[in-house]
């Protein structure tokens, strides 16, 4: 009897789950062995100390408390619970300024003792065990004061991008075609305009649709429109005043707006991906001083491709579209190794910065706008979050979701306008 497509997908899901459970069993067995060894060492040390005072080892082994002795070995599970409680205290007290002062490090030193046991054998940080593990989210205290700045743009803002190398620096772009670079001053009390770059396209005088900051911090990539033979992409050099804006000659997209540009996380290759209304996903790779495009696919999506991102684990390019599809294109095999369809259009995708298998997709579904996926589980999502949007019926507004550096929180704007912060450890939505 031939298996149906649904049965095959279910089998793949169960096999992935089985592998995961086997990994967790081995992990906990190893942890149990270490705990038993630690317990035995503690008993031996305690017996040695007490034997120097009086021969009372039998009382210890039988579980009786010795008179005048305050030492009680902690069970291993109790140590973990106290570490978790301390972790929440760290979040409550030390995270207060992080939402308004980008220069403050988001990783408290004490938190490392919890994280270092969660690295897998392949070297990636595993957050999957924490997803939906708590009945209540950890509260995040934040600064309530707000600093309002004049954007120095003549038209509506389009993007805001943080520098990957300087936490005091960010940029803005707008429909006037200018890109402004800002420097944060006095721990976030205000920001100073450092430079303003005219990035309008040469023919149609179009503004940048999206901008990505190069990982080295020295340049930007801006994308435009593929119509009317205009330039589709430009490199903005922040440290070269003579060649500050360089428009590339290659034009791999065939029509419409180029919606998104994103640098890939692979350290060995200097590359980024673009996607657009022409259903195409294009990978651009640095060749000496030039950027050369490679069209990955044009027919896997049946509508506009809205977002693109790279998965570090498998050299896979994830794309999401208005056709409700999530496509994972494997660069080595040159096939769509991941293919999932939702009930609502997809607007953007961002990979988790710590767990290399997780990524979040923004959708247009009310109260279910954010969906968390594990690339190993190809037929289901792991978690979802959302909100009631009251001031507008539009569910396709650019809400620019972003992860916290520790991979535990996802933040998103809305058309209300309200900024929402979700804890992936919370089992609610």
Q: How far is CA 306 from CA 46, 89, 256, 411, in A?
A: 63, 39, 12, 19
pLDDT score at 144: 62
Q: Could you tell me if 293 and 319 are in contact, meaning their C-beta atoms sit under 8 angstroms apart?
A: no
In whole angstroms, what is the distance from residue 171 CA to residue 20 CA? 41
pLDDT score at 112: 33
Give every residue of the chain whose pLDDT is below 70, as ranges.
1-6, 9, 48, 50-125, 143-145, 392-399
In whole angstroms, what is the distance from residue 211 CA to residue 235 CA? 10
Q: CB-based burial of residue 144 (10 Å sphere; 0-12 exposed, 13-18 middle, 19+ buried)?
A: exposed
pLDDT score at 59: 35
pLDDT score at 393: 66
pLDDT score at 99: 31
Region for residue 152 given its phi and psi (left: phi exceeds 0; alpha: psi -120 to 50; beta: otherwise): left
Q: What are phi and psi of 287, to 5 degrees?
A: -120, 95
User: The sheet that has 402-403: what strands, in order across it?
Assistant: 402-403, 409-412, 420-423
The model carries a pTM of 0.70
Q: Could you tell me if 99 and 142 are in contact, meaning their C-beta atoms sit under 8 angstroms apart?
A: yes
């Amino acid at each position: 009897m031939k298996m149906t497509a649904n049965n095959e997908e279910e089998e793949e899901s169960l096999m992935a789950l089985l592998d995961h459970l086997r990994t967790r069993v081995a992990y906990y067995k190893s942890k149990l062995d270490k705990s038993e060894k630690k317990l035995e060492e503690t008993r031996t040390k305690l017996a040695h100390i007490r034997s120097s005072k009086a021969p009372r080892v039998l009382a210890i082994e039988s579980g009786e408390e010795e008179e005048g002795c305050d030492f009680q070995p902690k069970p291993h599970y109790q140590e973990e619970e106290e570490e978790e409680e301390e972790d929440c205290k760290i979040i409550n007290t030390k995270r207060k300024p992080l939402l308004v002062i980008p220069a403050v490090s988001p990783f408290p030193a004490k938190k490392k003792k919890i994280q270092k046991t969660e690295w897998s054998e392949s070297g990636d940080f595993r957050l999957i065990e924490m997803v939906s593990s708590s009945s209540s989210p950890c509260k995040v205290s934040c600064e309530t004061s707000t600093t309002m700045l004049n954007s120095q743009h003549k038209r509506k803002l389009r993007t805001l991008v943080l520098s990957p190398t300087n936490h005091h620096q960010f940029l803005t772009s707008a429909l006037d075609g200018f890109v402004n670079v800002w420097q944060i001053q006095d721990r976030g009390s205000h920001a100073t305009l450092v430079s303003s770059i005219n990035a309008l396209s040469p023919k149609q005088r179009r503004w940048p649709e999206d901008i990505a900051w190069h990982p080295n911090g020295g340049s930007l990539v801006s994308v435009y429109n593929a119509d009317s033979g205009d330039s589709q992409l430009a490199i903005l050099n922040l440290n070269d005043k003579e060649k500050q804006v360089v428009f590339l000659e290659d034009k791999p997209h065939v029509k419409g707006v180029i919606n998104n540009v994103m640098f890939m996380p692979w350290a060995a290759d200097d590359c980024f991906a673009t996607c657009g209304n022409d259903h195409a996903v294009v990978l651009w790779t640095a060749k000496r001083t030039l950027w050369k495009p490679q069209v990955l696919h044009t027919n896997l999506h049946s509508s506009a491709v809205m977002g693109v991102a790279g998965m570090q684990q498998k050299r896979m390019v994830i794309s999401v579209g208005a056709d409700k599809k999530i496509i994972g294109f494997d660069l080595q095999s040159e096939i769509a190794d991941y293919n999932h369809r939702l009930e609502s259009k997809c607007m953007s995708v961002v990979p988790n910065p710590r767990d290399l298998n997780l990524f979040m997709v923004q959708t247009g579904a009310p109260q279910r706008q954010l969906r968390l996926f594990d690339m190993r589980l190809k037929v289901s999502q792991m978690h979802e979050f959302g909100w009631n949007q009251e001031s507008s019926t539009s569910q396709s507004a650019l809400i620019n979701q972003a992860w916290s550096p520790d991979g535990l929180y996802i933040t998103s704007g809305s058309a209300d306008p309200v900024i929402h912060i979700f804890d992936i450890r919370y089992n609610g939505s």
